[in-house]
Amino acid sequence: MLAGKAEATYEVLLDAAHDAWCDALGQANVLGGAGRFGADTSSFSGEIPFVLRPQCVEHVQAAMRIAQQFRVAVYPVSTGRNWGYGTAVPVRSPAVVMDLSGMNRIIDFDTELGVVTVQPGVTQGQLSEYLENNSLPFLVPVTGAGPTCSLLANALERGFGVTPMTDHFGAVVSMQVALPDGSLYESYTRSFSGSGLAQAYRWGTGPYLDGLFSQSNLGIVVDVSITLQRRSEQEAALLFVLDSNQQVEPATSEIRALLGECGTSIGGINLMSRARVSSMLLGAANLKGIDSPPAIPKGAWFGFGSVYGTRDHYRATCRRIQKRLRPIAGGIRFYTSQDARRLLWIADAAERLGITALTGMAERLAAATGVVAGVPSMFALPLAYAKSGRPLALRESMNPALDGCGLLWYSPLIPMRSGYVVRFLEFAEGTCAKHGLDAPITLTSLSARCYASTIPILFDRSSSESEGRAKACFEELVREGMKLGFVPYRMGAEYMHLLQSGTPSCGRLAQTLRQSLDRDGVLAPGRYSFD
C-alpha cells in the first residue's frame, strides 16, 4: 500500500485501476492473484492483487499512466526468475506485478557490428536459438541462472559471466525506457538512426543518462541494444587447482597480471572453493535422487576460465597462462568443445559396458566448454537444490522458487589488492562457520582490478530454524562486510533496506531524481531507492 492511503481507499483505487487496465491492455492481460510471482527461494512473500502482462511498449505506457492516476504501486519483472535475490516478489507490497515476459521480440540484429536489440522477455535460450538458426557467429552472454532467464534483466542488474563481454551492463550501448508517467526516454544516440550510431557508441553527447536505469526504480526498460562477442577461431575452458587458501592471494596476483596482459583473449576467471564445488555436486545428486555425489578431486580451490583467439594467438595465450600459473597451481588444462565431445563419446561407450564413472565427468566438461562457447545451460542451477527442493515432474524446467529450494545470494565486490582477498576469505568463512553454515565461495574476475564474489547461503526451506540461521548469517555478512569495504554488487528484494545505512550522497541524488520522476512513488517502491 502506498504511504498515506487508508485501506478502504486503497481498495477502491485498486478496483478502479483494475477496470482501467482491463480496458487498456485487454482482460486476458490482467490476471488475478500472485501465481508463480509470489514464491521466492525463502519464506519472503508479498501481497500481489493483480499481474499485468503488457504485450507491447504502448501497453507499458498505458499501464503506468493508470498506475499514476490511481496511485497503485507497480513492480515490473522481465521473466521473474531472479532466484536467490527475491525472485519476482515486490520489495514492498501490496503491489501489482508487471510481467514483461510477453514482450519477447528480438527487434534487430546488426550483424556487421554484432549488436542485438531485445525486449525484456528475450531469454538466453531464445537468443542462442536465434543465433544458431541464422548461422550468426556470436556468443550469448550466458550466466549460471540458465536459458530461461532474461538477457535484459541480467544486464540491468549488472550481471557478469566468463565470456569476453564479462560485464553485461557494460555491453549495453543504448536503450528505450518507459518513465513512471508513461512517457518514453531513448538514448541520445538513437536520435541519429540514419547512421546507426546507437549500435556503435554508448556515451553520446552531454550527460550520460542510461546508467540511471540500471539497478533503479526510475523507469521500465522496454528494450536494450547489447554488444555481443564474435566467436573466435579457437575457444577453450581453462581448469586448474590450488592446494590451500594461502595460494589464493598469489594466484590473484597472477590472474590480475594475465588479465592485464591478454585482454579479451581471456574472459572471466573463477576461483571456486571446495565447498562451492561440493554444493554444486550435491545439488545435482539430489536432483537425480542419488544418495551421495561423486568424489571431488584433491584441492582447496578450483579455477575455471575461458580462452579465445586465432589459433596462433590462442596457443600464445595458453603458454602465457601456464608460465604465470605453473609456480602456484596444479592440474593446468585447456579443454575445447572437441575434447568434450570425445569424452562424451567414450563415456557413452563405457556406460553401455556398465562403466558409469566417466559419465558425470564428461557431462560437466561438456557444460564447461559450452559456457565458454556462449551456450546457455542448466549446469550451475542444481546448486540451488543442495539443501532442499525437488523439481515438479510435470514441469519442463527447474524453478528453485516453486521447487522449495532455500537460497540467498551474498555477492560482494572484492578489490584485487594485496591482503584484501585473504581478509575477505577469513571474514566470510568465519561468519558462515559462526552460524553453522558452509561458505561455498566463488571469486569471479570482473576486470584486472576487481572480483565479484558469490556465496550461496543454502538452507532447508522446510525448516524455520534452518532458514533463521541462514538469514542471520546473510545479514551479518552484509552489514559487517560493508564495514570492511566489501560492498554487494547487487541486493535481493527482501534486503533492500540494508542499503539505507549512511544514505551516501549518491543516495540523496537518487531520491531527488525519484521525487522528480515519480512523486507518489508508484514504480517499484523501495527498489534500490536508499529511502
- At 7 the pLDDT is 53
Q: How far is CA 481 from the centre of its chain?
A: 21
Residues 90 and 114 in one domain: no
CB 61, CB 24: distance < 8 Å: no
Residues 334 and 348 in one domain: yes
CB 407, CB 456: distance < 8 Å: yes
Whole-number Å distance between alpha carbons of 119 and 141? 15
CB 415, CB 452: distance < 8 Å: no
Residues 80 and 152 in one domain: no
Segment 388-423, tens digit of pLDDT: 988 765 555 789 999 999 999 999 999 999 899 999
Residues 247 and 218 in one domain: no
With cut-offs at 50, 70 and 90, classify the pLDDT of residue 293: confident
3-state secondary structure of 138: strand
Quote the cell numbers at residue 477: 555478512
With cut-offs at 50, 70 and 90, classify the pLDDT of residue 4: very low
User: What is the amino acid identity at position 530?
Assistant: F
What is the tally of structural domains in the chain?
A: 3
CA geometry: angle 398, 400, 406, nearest 5 deg? 155
Residue 28 lies in a domain: yes
- Whose CA is closest to 86, among 123, 122, 25, 43? 43
In CATH, what number is assigned to the domain containing residue 27?
3.30.43.10
Higher pLDDT: 497 or 294? It is: 497
Residue 3 has pLDDT above 60, yes or no: no
Segment 46-95, tens digit of pLDDT: 999 999 999 999 999 999 999 999 999 999 999 999 999 999 999 999 99
Whole-number Å distance between alpha carbons of 284 and 302? 18
Residues 282 and 365 in one domain: yes
227-252 per-residue burial string, b: 16 or more CB within 10 A, e: under 16? bbbeebebbbbbbbbbeebebbbebb
Residues 94 and 110 in one domain: no
Phi-psi region of 206 (alpha: psi -120 to 50; beta: other; left: phi over 0): left
Whole-number Å distance between alpha carbons of 438 and 456? 9
Residues 209 and 155 in one domain: yes
Quote the cell numbers at residue 468: 533463521
Range of the domain at 179: 106-227
CB 522, CB 74: distance < 8 Å: yes
